[in-house]
Amino acid sequence: MWQAHYVAAKLLACGVETTLVPLVSGGDTDMRPIDGTRQVGLFTKRIQQALVDDEADIAVHSLKDLPTAADERFVLAAVAERETVTDSFVTLDGKSLSDLAEGAKVGTGSTRRVAQLKSLRPDLEILPIRGNVQTRLSKLASGEFAAIVLAEAGLLRLEMDDVKRVSFSLDEMLPAPGQGALGIEVRANEPVVLEAVSKLDDLATRLSVTTERTILAALHGGCLAPIAAYSQATMSNDQVELTVKARVMSVDGQQRLEETASASFANDSDVTGMVDKAADLGRQVADRFREAGAEALIQSAR
């Protein structure tokens, strides 16, 4: 709901009035651990169906949940300016990961986080946790977990300043592709809606997440795979400097492949061309991962 209100406010600032259509996705109601049979589109299919059924004209997603497979019915009309990409280690008393007792229970619903946590602290018991931020915090408060891992972006957006947490460094915990960004979809055959929503597109964020999501797509990872990536686009008046760091791990955290890459190109009026160059960088990184044996690590996580 925060995301929908945020997009509505941004559109209103552009002179476009909207009506909110609250929806409940399968990912919101099904609290079973996400496994290889049911992960794709768990949080997005219901919202996309609202576009198909003309129930809504604009779909707002957490971009990290949006499948990378192209669907010709929809257009990713905008990627709003990104919030922080870091993950937070949340406890009742502000302990860091190193402070936690041996064998303590840590909750996360992300295979990517599981792999990186186990790499840092193989002694911990990492257990699945589902639900919204408030639900997860209540499970922490009840003593079900000694700690949980949450995206810092969600805590900031909900203004949960009193939640005691320690931010992971990017060396410790790389984010999911698209983490911290909002993906705004519209129907492909609605040029008026597309034009209105495209005003919210942040080009630097679009370039960054394009590189990250291209790596994920090229490796056929899906959101279950232990794949992490973070790209940054630094833009001047005439130049774009794009960097990316990506990581593929075994679920037990014992095997790790890591790649870094960069690209430099003109900042010009050819936005499509710039996005294509960002995707090219992602494909280059994915090719390196394949050569290093990443597909075996990804398959072992299914």
Domain boundary among 167, 190, 221: 167
* Residue 123 known to be catalytic: no
Residue 270 resides in a domain: yes
Token pair 């519209």 is found at: 186
In terms of domains, do 252 and 282 share one?
yes
Token pair 């990581």 is found at: 247
In terms of domains, do 193 and 98 share one?
no
Residue 174 resides in a domain: no
Instruction: Report the CATH number that the domain containing residue 148 is assigned in CATH.
Output: 3.40.190.10
In terms of domains, do 115 and 129 share one?
yes
In terms of domains, do 96 and 77 share one?
no
Please tell me the total count of domains within the chain.
3
pLDDT tens figures, 57-92:
999 999 998 989 889 999 999 999 999 999 999 999
194-213 mean pLDDT: 97
Q: Which of 65, 93, 202, 270 is catalytic?
A: 65
Residue 235 resides in a domain: yes
CA distances, 300 to each of 44, 219, 221, 228 (Å): 25, 13, 11, 16
Asked if residue 222 has pLDDT above 90, the reply is: no
pLDDT tens figures, 233-242:
999 999 999 9
249-258 mean pLDDT: 95
In terms of domains, do 192 and 214 share one?
no
CB atoms within 10 A of CB 205: 23
In terms of domains, do 35 and 75 share one?
yes
- What is the span of the domain harbouring residue 53? 1-82+181-201
Residue 172 resides in a domain: no
Instruction: Report the CATH number that the domain containing residue 210 is assigned in CATH.
Output: 3.30.160.40
In terms of domains, do 215 and 99 share one?
no
CA distances, 46 to each of 33, 38, 82, 188 (Å): 19, 14, 24, 17
Token pair 């219901």 is found at: 46
In terms of domains, do 188 and 215 share one?
no
Residue 173 resides in a domain: no
Residue 2 resides in a domain: yes
CA distances, 112 to each of 4, 143, 236 (Å): 26, 24, 33
pLDDT tens figures, 107-151:
998 999 999 999 999 999 999 998 889 999 999 999 999 999 999
Alpha helices per DSSP H over the chain? 2-13, 26-29, 45-52, 111-120, 133-141, 152-157, 191-197, 203-218, 271-291, 294-300
In terms of domains, do 53 and 119 share one?
no
Residue 219 resides in a domain: yes
In terms of domains, do 160 and 12 share one?
no
Mean pLDDT of the chain: 92
In terms of domains, do 110 and 72 share one?
no
| pLDDT higher at 223 or 262 | 262
220-230 mean pLDDT: 87
In terms of domains, do 5 and 63 share one?
yes
